[in-house]
Structure 1
Amino acid sequence: MVSIAVESAEMARAAWAAAASVPDPEVPCVTVADLGILRAVEIEDGVAVARVTPTYSGCPAVLAIELAVEAALRDAGFEARVERVFSPAWTTEWITAEGRSKLREYGIAPPARASNSIRALFGETQVDCPRCGSSETERVSEFGSTACKALYRCATCREPFDYFKCI
């Protein structure tokens, strides 16, 4: 009986690793695990079931993400199913420290930590430049390369950059 439990735990770890390796199609420097949208991977009746929460309900990449996670599980030898989970809603607080670091290295300012300030609701967040670290930045557009990012410009190094909005 113990060997079955160990085998099942190993299968679950292998399934998690396969699903967690899937890059985000819009921001390929981070994986679905880095973003925290991969909620769980469990083995249920021999099927690897991955649970994914979209960053927001209108995210155009959610179907591509689900298909990529399912393909990664199948490529790893699992029968697979992906379930979309809406509750609780995803938040940028779920982005891992490694994910935040990867975003910064890629040239995208990671989201500020959640704030109770009313100013944060209107995008009035201090955003440091991911290239030079300067806090002398300005928002150019509420929307950047995707709806979940805003376009900023650094006054110090003069470079434009995306800011992953805090949700």
Structure 2
Amino acid sequence: MAAAAHEDARTLVESVIDPEMPMLTLADLGVIRDVDIDQNGAVVVTITPTYSGCPALATMRVDIEQLLNRHGYNQVRVDTSLTPPWSSDWITESGMRKLREAGYSPPGRAPAPGTGPVPLTLTTPPRAVSCPQCGSPRTELVSEFGATLCKAHYRCIACLEPFDHVKEI
């Protein structure tokens, strides 16, 4: 019975919709680190936000708690883990497909961490971003910050359509 309750709780948590990109679940986004049931029967969910100051984190917590409560899990705790930090590489293939279908430019591979000193740069490194509407690689950055911190705003030079790009982190 405990295994079934654990699997049910995990399935429920994985179905929670991301408040900033509602075409994705939290599982698609890769922010769910763990779902467990402790010795007292409480569901303990561990999530890693896309940014340490992500404004959607509070909504994610509430959405998880409310969904589990509605399904009979009365004791719920949502913990935040910042280690390891979230990476856009954690977005599932299904999540990448859903982003493209919704008109977003999905992230490429996250930059690999280097060794040694981190070079100071005053500008954003250029990204190879293709237009999600027409597929053209001829795009230009309009603003490093889109509707949320995890997106940058671009414009396609070929079809002139604006679009958001989910940043590589």
Specify if TM > 0.5: yes
Letter paired with 1:126: A
Which of 111, 129, 152 is 2:131 aligned to? Answer: 129
Q: Which runs of 4+ in 1 moved over 6 A?
A: none
Measure how far apart 1:57 and its partner are.
Answer: 1.1
Unaligned runs of 5+ in 1: 1-6
Write out per-residue CA displacement over residues 134-166 of structure 1, whole angstroms, 9 at most, x where no aligned residue: 111111111111111100011122110000111
Counterpart-to-counterpart distance in 2, 1:123 and 1:96: 24
Per the alignment, residue 145 of structure 1 pairs with: 147
Unaligned runs of 5+ in 2: none
Higher helix share: 1
Matched, 1:159 2:153: no
Matched, 1:114 2:110: yes
Measure how far apart 1:48 and its partner are.
Answer: 1.1
Per the alignment, residue 89 of structure 1 pairs with: 85
Per the alignment, residue 31 of structure 1 pairs with: 25
Counterpart-to-counterpart distance in 2, 1:128 and 1:115: 18
Measure how far apart 1:123 and its partner are.
Answer: 3.5
Measure how far apart 1:128 and its partner are.
Answer: 1.0
Write out per-residue CA displacement over residues 38-87 of structure 1, whole angstroms, 9 at most, x where no aligned residue: 11111112111110111111111111111111111111211311111111
Counterpart-to-counterpart distance in 2, 1:143 and 1:54: 18
Per the alignment, residue 3 of structure 1 pairs with: none
Root-mean-square deviation over aligned CA pairs: 1.8
Aligned length in residues:
160
Measure how far apart 1:114 and its partner are.
Answer: 2.0
Write out per-residue CA displacement over residues 74-120 of structure 1, whole angstroms, 9 at most, x where no aligned residue: 1121131111111111111111111111111111111111234989x
Measure how far apart 1:13 and its partner are.
Answer: 1.1
Which of 10, 22, 41 is 2:35 aligned to? Answer: 41
State TM-score, norm by structure 2. Answer: 0.89
Letter paired with 1:60: P
Letter paired with 1:12: H
Counterpart-to-counterpart distance in 1, 2:110 and 2:51: 16
SS in 1 for 2:78: strand
SS in 1 for 2:16: coil
Counterpart-to-counterpart distance in 2, 1:8 and 1:28: 31
Which of 70, 78, 82 is 1:75 aligned to? Answer: 70
Counterpart-to-counterpart distance in 2, 1:29 and 1:123: 28
Matched, 1:9 2:3: yes
SS in 2 for 1:83: strand
